[in-house]
Amino acid sequence: MIATSTDTDVPPARPAATVMLIRDADAGAGDARGPGLEVFVLRRAAAAAFAGGFYVFPGGKVDPADGGEAIEPLSAGLDDEAASAALGIERGGLAYWVAAIRECFEEAGVLLARGRDGSPPAPRHADREKVHSGELALVDLCRRDDLVLDTAAIRYVAHWVTPVEERPRRFDTRFFLAAAPADQDGRHDDGETVDSRWVRPAEALDEAEAGDLMLLPPTISTLRFLAGCSTVKEAFAQAAAAGPPPRILPTLQYDEAGNVVGVSAGPAGEFSVGLRPNR
């Protein structure tokens, strides 16, 4: 059965951004899979207040410091007007791109930025920790090292809002696609996240179906999209061809015992993701 909510006291969904880091992977000798696409995922700590134990993409809530006049000059190729238009909002859109970059650096240690001369950044672990703690603002890191944020290279691909039944933590999340820099390799932070891996999307979906990998419905949905792509170039091309993503506000599905078994969305529930318990 599908649950509905008649509560008027629904907590607001907080703006958030998450980024799918992808890379082309060559199969090793004797690997029958051949070349393919890999995506970076992190496992959240079991004690985390949100999605504990689940594998997710790097991401988090949009902070006030992610927007404003100070950040726009540090954005390479994308201004707030264009970013806001892409998201379908009046203003403040660039903050979502910046949040995705900041969270990717904090959670995965990958900095989606470059020198003004085009040179790759040299991210330091100490800087990652300082940005994460708030001791060092991303804008100050860019100014210090003469970096610009590679916002124009990041593609907006999905928009999910936490079901109204989930409270008090609800998020209005924009999903982005980014090619992982060749000279940077992601790693979890051993705090909020306790494991990380590069995985082929189809294999992650198979593991989730078998109950061996805990994934949230939006992660499953975006992995399904990536599973149909063989290269980074193809993933970006398909994202561009898809056009502006729809806003997905799913409804929880329950079994007769009242356990959540999946989510559905769309006028007739045509989008559906089932959930299986982790073994």
116-165, pLDDT tens digit by residue?
988 988 888 899 999 999 999 999 999 999 999 999 999 999 999 988 76
Instruction: Give the pLDDT of residue 179.
Output: 97
What CA–CA distances, in Å, run from 119 to 114, 159, 183? 6, 32, 11
**Placement of tokens 């590679």 in the chain:** 150
**Does residue 259 register a pLDDT over 80?**
no
Mean pLDDT of the chain: 86
What distance lies between CA 32 and its chain's CA centroid?
A: 29
pLDDT at 88 over 60: yes
pLDDT exceeds 50 at position 7: no
What six digits make up the tokens of 228?
A: 């149909």
State percent of the chain over pLDDT 90: 58
How many Å apart are CA 203 and CA 186, to the nearest integer?
19
Structural contact between residues 146 and 228, judged by C-beta atoms closer than 8 angstroms: no
Tell me the per-residue pLDDT of 196-241, one tens digit each, with 9 for 90 and over.
Answer: 999 999 999 999 988 888 888 889 989 999 999 999 999 999 999 9
Residue 5, pLDDT above cutoff 80 = no
pLDDT grade for 30, boundaries at 50, 70 and 90:
low
Residue pair 23/38 in contact by the 8 Å Cβ criterion: yes
CA 108, distance to chain mean position in Å, is 11
Q: Long-range CB contacts (< 8 A, 24+ apart) of 182-185?
A: 183/120, 184/109, 184/110, 184/111, 184/120, 184/123, 185/110
For 177-204, what is the mean pLDDT? 91
- The tokens describing 44, both together, are 């959240």
Hey, which bits of the chain come out as E strands?
14-25, 36-44, 55-56, 59-61, 113-115, 147-149, 155-161, 171-179, 193-199, 247-248, 251-254, 260-265, 271-274
Residue 89, pLDDT score: 95
* H or E element in which residue 143 lies: helix 138-145
Q: Name the pTM for this structure.
A: 0.87
What pLDDT shows up at residue 26? 75
Full DSSP string of 170-215? -EEEEEEEEEPPTT------SSSEEEEEEE-HHHHHHHHHTTSS-B
How many CB atoms sit inside 10 A of residue 217's CB? 21
Q: How confident is the model at residue 278 (pLDDT cuts 50, 70, 90)?
A: very low
Q: Look up the CATH superfamily of 14-248.
A: Nucleoside Triphosphate Pyrophosphohydrolase (3.90.79.10)
pLDDT above 90 for 36: no
- Region 53-72: mean pLDDT is 92
AA letter at 69: E
pLDDT of 167 reads 59
Interval 89-126: pLDDT, tens: 999 999 999 999 999 999 999 999 999 988 988 888 89
Domain chopping of the chain, boundaries: 14-248
Residue with the two structure tokens 């007739």:
268
What band does 31 get if pLDDT is binned at 50, 70 and 90?
A: low
